[in-house]
């Protein structure tokens, strides 16, 4: 059973982290200033379909590289020149779909890793950032990490948030770790809404130790990832509210996020939520969550569950076990 690695273990006297975003300033993301011009602005009637053809292809490809098929079709309907410009990306999307069929054995074809990788690479060569990520994943699984990272970097520079996240994780796991580059890519992906990156960014800030102001930044990203459905972030958000670290102390919010994590299968959350229910006297619900935690391998849950079961009638015990057997985790990111 895979362990949930969530709240960082800190050996230093100060339990929380400090890593200021000194490398990320507003000026790096602001629009460039243009010199004043005596020319009057063009009228709206000047922008005809012919103007779209003057958009450089490399600009268009960067914009559309991470588009899915419906978005590519929508772009193709804007004008003929755009339709021609994104034709390679439409071809790439078909190759990407074939790659996924070969990789997973779907759509009436047998699994074939070689053909899957070939399809992904052909799609990547046509500019698809999505295909670059899938090809990178296959190379990573094959142990060819340099090839994987090269593809992740290309896709990340095209704005693909999954690639940015993978690149950030690679730099965190490198020997030695490159925290500066890891934070750069995790921050970009987090701003783009990638919940896994938001959680990993929060962990980086949390684990560094030091000034409390950065715990506020960590808690902010825990909360964003939790709101996006990332279960481990839900658990850590609960702890932030419970300890009043990075977020204002709130027992109600702590309980809410702990229950959400428990209902999505986080075993530590199931254990702690079960303990909270036990302390409130709700024995039936408590034993269900403790049973789930025990089945998931959470040490200590079985002993507490036994204590609770001794307080229930035989009929109540049977009903609690029936509820545990029929339990299904809620969907998460």
Q: Read off the tokens for 37.
A: 């011009």
Contact between 269 and 258 (Cβ < 8 Å): yes
Name the DSSP letter for residue 154: H
The 10s digit of each residue's pLDDT in 240-299 is: 999 999 999 999 999 999 999 999 999 999 999 999 999 999 999 999 999 999 999 999
The pLDDT of residue 36 is 42
Comparing 217 with 62, the larger pLDDT belongs to 217
Whether 303 has a pLDDT exceeding 90, the answer reads yes
Select from 34, 28, 35, 90 the least CA-distant residue to 65: 90
- Token digits for 247? 């977020």
Residues near 225 by beta carbon (within 8 Å), at least 6 away in sequence: 195, 196, 198, 199, 202, 233
**Helix/strand/coil for 237:** helix
C-beta separation of 76 from 82 below 8 A? yes
Is it the case that residue 12 has pLDDT exceeding 50?
no
Report CA-CA distances (Å) from 175 to 23, 59, 172: 22, 35, 9
Q: What is the CA radius of gyration of the chain?
A: 25
Residue 247 three-state SS = coil
**Mean local confidence (pLDDT), 91-113:** 94
Element of type H or E holding 195: helix 195-207
Tell me if 272 sits within 8 A of 253, measured CB to CB: no
pLDDT in tens, 103-131: 999 989 999 999 999 999 999 999 999 99
């Amino acid at each position: 059973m895979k362990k949930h690695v969530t709240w960082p273990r800190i050996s230093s006297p100060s339990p929380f982290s400090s890593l200021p975003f000194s490398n990320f300033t507003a000026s790096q993301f602001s629009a460039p200033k243009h010199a004043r011009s005596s020319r009057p602005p063009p009228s709206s009637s000047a922008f005809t379909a012919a103007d779209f053809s003057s958009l450089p292809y490399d600009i268009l490809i960067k914009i559309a590289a991470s588009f899915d098929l419906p978005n590519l079709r929508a772009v193709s309907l804007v004008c003929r020149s755009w339709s021609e410009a994104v034709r390679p990306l439409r071809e790439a999307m078909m190759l990407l779909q074939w790659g996924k069929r070969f990789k997973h054995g779907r759509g009436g074809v047998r699994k074939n890793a070689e053909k899957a990788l070939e399809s992904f690479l052909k799609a990547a060569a046509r500019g698809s950032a999505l295909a670059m990520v899938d090809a990178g994943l296959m190379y990573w699984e094959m142990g060819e990490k340099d090839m994987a990272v090269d593809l992740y970097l290309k896709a990340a520079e095209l704005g693909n948030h999954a690639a940015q996240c993978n690149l950030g994780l690679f730099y965190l796991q490198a020997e030695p770790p490159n925290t500066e580059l890891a934070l750069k890519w995790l921050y970009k992906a987090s701003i783009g809404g990638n919940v896994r990156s938001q959680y990993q960014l929060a962990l980086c800030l949390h684990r560094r130790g030091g000034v409390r102001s950065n715990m506020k930044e960590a808690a902010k990203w825990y909360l964003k990832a939790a709101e996006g459905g990332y279960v481990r972030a839900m658990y850590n958000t609960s702890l932030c509210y419970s300890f009043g670290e990075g977020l204002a102390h709130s027992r109600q919010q702590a309980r809410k996020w702990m229950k959400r994590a428990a209902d999505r299968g986080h075993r530590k959350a199931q254990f702690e939520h079960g303990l909270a229910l036990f302390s409130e006297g709700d024995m039936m619900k408590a034993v269900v969550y403790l049973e789930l935690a025990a089945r998931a391998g959470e040490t200590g849950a079985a002993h507490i569950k036994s204590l609770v079961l001794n307080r229930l009638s035989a009929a109540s015990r049977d009903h609690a076990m029936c509820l545990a057997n029929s339990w299904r985790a809620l969907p998460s990111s």
